[in-house]
Structure 1
Amino acid sequence: MKVQLNVLGMSQYSQNINPQYQNSACGPTTVSVILNYHSHQQSTVKEVNELYKLLGGTRIGLFTWRLIKNLRKLLGPGWIVSRCTLSESLRELDAGRPVAMKFDKHFTFQWFAKPTFKYHWVPLIGYEIMDNELYLILHDNGGRNRDSQIRKVRYADNHKVLSFVKIKPR
């Protein structure tokens, strides 16, 4: 079984993103990608530099609680922004809505884990079950001189460091 949404990714290192923000712009970039996906249903989407400030981005990244609190304030009551479980995330994907997913080795105290990313927000755009194993499909938010790429990561290799935030219109 496979679900993959047609989501247009974006590199956090693109030229239109402030160079001072680029290393830690994965959270605002992820939010921008998800809001752009929903934009046909809702109002104007903020650009990444503006989201970086409005969401409370820092040099070490964007904390989950801060993303939720500030994005709720920014989007208003017409949107649901909240933490969710893996099961809820998969249901969101089944319903055609991407989810913000965060890899966080440091603040989950998983010092010896070897996840795909140590600390990184990405748009979760799908999943696939192969040989009874779950794989998550994501946009990686690019790299220096590289556009965002779609990647498939094994859930079992990353589950201890993952958290999910659903962002959807009511």
Structure 2
Amino acid sequence: MKIQLPVQGYSQYNASILSNYQASACGPVTAYVLLNFLFPYTNAYHPNELYSKLGGTRIGLFTYRLVRNMRKLLGPDWLIEKCSLKSALDELKNDRPLALKFDKYFTFKWNKKFTFSYHWVPLIGYELDEGELFLIVHDNGGRNRESSIRKIRYADNASILTFVKVAPCSTR
């Protein structure tokens, strides 16, 4: 079984993003990608604006800031919260991408190798392959590299993942 939403990615190293933001712009870029998917004709925020509106810092965007400040941006008709893997997969089945955070530092998993150490990415799908779960993400690019779709083994990263859903309140 495979679900993959037609989400347009964006590189956090895009020339339009302020150079002093680029290294820590993964959270605002992830929010930008989600907002462009959910509101394809009305998103007025650029990643540079989201960097300040969401509370980005030189070391990244903390989960509580993303949740709190996205709630302020979208208002009371939207539910923005951390969620479980099951809830995240349900969101994808309902055609809504999520924000996915990899965080080995604040989960104190320093000695293990993960796909990303500290990074936000749009979660755009998943695949079950012979009983194993793979998450499909846009990686937000790199220096001189556009955002690309990657398939990541869930079991290798489960202990450091945080899912944040952005859903209309009517879907509670």
Q: CA deviation at 1:22?
A: 0.2
Q: Over aligned residues, Cα RMSD in angstroms?
A: 1.0
Contact 1:36 1:45 in 2 (8 A): no
Residue 7 of structure 1: aligned partner: 7
State the TM-score, normalizing by the size of structure 1. Answer: 0.97
Partners of 2:44 and 2:79 in 1: how far apart? 16
1:87 corresponds to which letter in structure 2? Answer: K
Q: CA deviation at 1:43?
A: 4.1
Q: Could you tell me the percent identity over the aligned residues?
A: 59
Residue 140 (structure 2) pairs with residue 105 (structure 1): no
Residue 141 of structure 2: aligned partner: 142
The answer for unaligned runs of 5 or more in structure 1 is none
Residue 31 of structure 2: aligned partner: 31
1:77-99, Cα deviation, whole Å (9 max, x unpaired): 12111000010000000110001
Q: CA deviation at 1:49?
A: 0.2
The answer for unaligned runs of 5 or more in structure 2 is none
Residue 63 (structure 2) pairs with residue 67 (structure 1): no
What are the equivalent positions in structure 2 for 1:1-170 lying under 5 Å apart?
Answer: 1-40=1-40, 43-170=42-169
Q: CA deviation at 1:45?
A: 3.4
Contact 1:4 1:126 in 2 (8 A): yes
2:51 corresponds to which letter in structure 1? Answer: Y
1:11-69, Cα deviation, whole Å (9 max, x unpaired): 000010000000000000000000000114x8433110000000000000000001101
Runs of 4+ deviating beyond 6 Å: none
Number of equivalenced pairs: 169
Partner-residue secondary structure (3-state), 2:23 = helix
Partners of 2:44 and 2:121 in 1: how far apart? 18
